[in-house]
Amino acid sequence: MKELRTNIGLATVVLLATAALAAARTTTMPVPGTVNYVEGQVGVDGQSLAPAQTGSTQLQPNQVLGTGQGKAELLLTPGVFFRLGDNSEARMISPGLADTRVELMHGTAMLEVDQLFKENDLSVVVDGSTTKIGKQGLYEFQAEPAAVRVIDGEATVYEGTAHVTVKKGHEALLANGLPLKSHGLNQEAVEADPLYRWSKLRGEYEADANLNAAYMVGVNGGWYGPGWYWDPFWGFYSYLPGAGFFYSPFGWGFYSPVWVLGHPYYRYGAVGHAGFRAAAPAAGHFAAAPRMATMGGGFHGGGGFGGRR
């Protein structure tokens, strides 16, 4: 009982601290093109971007996000992370929710698609070819030589009048003069790539922030449905699904506030992703989310933690 009271006391302190930090934030909805995290040398249109500017910097059409010895994470549609590797450049073509297009101009990029809605039209342009994302999954893009790799998921690559569907474990080489075909992918080489390893680590951090944000939003209010929610402890946006849970292509769990608060682990005031992982369902890619009851009034309103920054 003493341990239980201690856990509840700690949880209360965490709640109050989080609410206080979140209250200091403004309340603007993040849109496609929002820079969520930077590491090392990163700039927009040649102007250096400091870590403190993440979360509030939004790429406008034709603006270019570039890296030197550094990496950057860009939010696209809700549930989609675009990550730029070292010595790379990406141009925002269209930041619309229903038409989201980014061009990789130099270097490498990775796209983690944790959730994709039927209304989303999500595509990446490389060397004049357009790749339309068809499913949740993990995609890698390379500018020199141009290539599209589908680590998990499915995409269609359009090049002039030709097109090819690239499925999980395959790639399409976009070199001039070569026919547009899908080839088998060297998975070991992909997983050894620094951008893949960095993206996997970022995916884990995002999952940790998801759990923290889901708990805080569920208790404090500020729920506005599936979307990006600012986590003041981690200092970046995380994604909260509308109901149930799912797993990212890296195997990390993403949970809704209703699912988290209904789990026995949280009914006793214990807070911590490590403990929750042990109590949560076994990992699996994109496990089907259980049917959830309609969210009640306790998950609406703008007070407390709040999802908008």
pLDDT digits (tens, 9 = 90+) for 56-72: 999 999 999 999 999 99
302 secondary structure, DSSP code: S
Euclidean distance between CA atoms 275 and 267, whole angstroms: 13
pLDDT digits (tens, 9 = 90+) for 294-306: 233 222 222 223 3
Q: Are 42 and 70 a contacting pair, CB within 8 Å?
A: yes
pLDDT digits (tens, 9 = 90+) for 220-247: 888 888 999 999 889 999 999 998 999 9
DSSP for 62-87 reads T-EEEEEEEEEEEE-STTEEEEE-TT
Across residues 89-107, what is the average pLDDT? 96
**Boundaries of every domain in the chain:** 2-27+204-296, 34-192
Structure tokens that stand for 307 in this block:
């999802």
Lowest mean pLDDT among 98-102, 209-213, 242-246, 263-267: 263-267
Look at residue 9 and tell me whether its pLDDT is greater than 50: no
Class of the 34-192 domain? Answer: mainly beta
The residue ranking higher by pLDDT, 147 or 295, is 147
SS3 207: helix
Look at residue 270 and tell me whether its pLDDT is greater than 90: no
Look at residue 99 and tell me whether its pLDDT is greater than 60: yes
Look at residue 187 and tell me whether its pLDDT is greater than 80: yes
List, as own/partner pairs, every contact residues 292-297 make where C-beta atoms lie below 8 angstroms and the sequence separation is at least 24, other chains included.
292/243, 292/244, 292/256, 292/258, 292/259, 293/258, 295/223, 295/243, 295/257, 295/258
